[in-house]
Homo-oligomer: A and B are copies of this chain.
Amino acid sequence: MTDNTFGKLFSFTSFGESHGLAIGCVVDGVPPKVKLQEADIQPYLDRRKPGQNRFVTQRSEADQVEILSGVFEGMTTGTPICLLIKNTDQRSKDYGDIATQFRPGHADFTYTEKYGIRDYRGGGRSSARETAVRVAAGAIADIILTRILGTSFKIQASIVQIGPHKISSDRFDASEINNNPFFCADAQTALIWADYLDDVRKQGSSAGAIIEVVATGVPSGIGQPLYAKLDSEIASAMMSINAVKAVEIGAGFSLSEIAGEIAGDEMQMANGKPEFLSNNAGGILGGISSGAPITARIAIKPTSSILTTRKSIDTSGKNIELRTKGRHDPCVGIRGVPVVEAMMACVLLDLMMRHHAQTTILPEANS
């Protein structure tokens, strides 16, 4: 099944397991004559890279991307671009009982139920390692979107909650996001999270998180009604990321409690252009972008690999108690930030191309 392909016009097809030889993807639909080399993609991967501080997994991966095709003399040619990231730190010597035991919260049980076989090394295909591929593909999407939309276009994600600790919205300062290990828009909240996660790790526990993403500079008209709505495609993209269990657009769940006369964002003209007086819709009406910033929030569950002993079963159907060993992120949500940005870029470019195909093919708009 092409169920490892994301997108229709701008798409990528992903492959690879955590401890196999390599992970990578084939990016298709890239417009020709875009300047592109490995050095353009690498900074996106570096943001996601493990081993950069004590709050993310200590697995040491270079995450060096190689372009195998589709680029000629530093320019895209319109043909598919294969991106390869070799697995260097596989440490595949000792997997202990992982082959026969199902870790709670992991995909061990369900992969086995589905396929009757699983590559248990480091979680195999279900490992968050695969998200490096998304970041690489998303980098290309982001580069192209910036070419199309200019510098007013920007996708920025940040963590707004870890465990019970939320960032206060009045302290949100986007310029802080890249100044701390948490992609946190408030230096003070970052300190609270640091203390909290140190505790969590000492207790052999883990924490969940909420990521907020905002895309500014997206023109109106993007999104296909009714089944490839911009909301639908964002929700699908985000839910396809490991450990994500909830997505909301704009005011999201809180819309269930707001009165209709507040929920529907009013409009007025400002400097000759339509402006929304609020953004409960998260920049999307009827599945189509309105020109207001696209906003979404994503919940990521706590890392399932923890040092606490838990009840489970093994492949022979016996009850067991198990404790996950090894290096793990106390909060996988943190490294999710560049992944969320990447998936948003892929969704937006794909839908822009679909919109463009249908609405600009006629030489003049009126017959």
Contact = CB atoms under 8 A, between A and B. Distances in A.
Nearest to A285: B110
Interface in A186-214: 200, 204-210
A175 interface: no
Given A21-B69, A286-B126, A227 B363 contact: no
The number of times this chain is found in the oligomer is 4
A80 B4 contact: yes
A110 B210 CA distance: 29
A38 B290 CA distance: 33
Contacts of A69: 15-17, 20-23
Interface residues of A, number: 170
A229 interface: yes
Contact of A109 (B162, B255, B285): B285
A75 B299 contact: no
Contacts of A98: none
Nearest to A264: B105
A138 interface: no
Contacts of A70: 15, 17
Given A9-B357, A313-B267, A357-B9, A365 B116 contact: yes
B257 A164 contact: yes
Interface in A300-350: 300-304, 306, 308, 310-313, 317-319, 333
30 contacts: A1-B354, A2-B28, A3-B28, A5-B28, A14-B80, A17-B69, A17-B72, A22-B82, A31-B362, A32-B114, A35-B367, A79-B124, A79-B125, A104-B266, A106-B285, A109-B220, A111-B288, A113-B291, A126-B226, A144-B362, A161-B256, A200-B260, A234-B239, A251-B301, A255-B302, A261-B308, A263-B301, A267-B312, A274-B317, A280-B301
Across the A-B interface, the 5 shortest Cβ-Cβ residue pairs: A107-B286, A105-B264, A206-B260, A246-B248, A260-B302
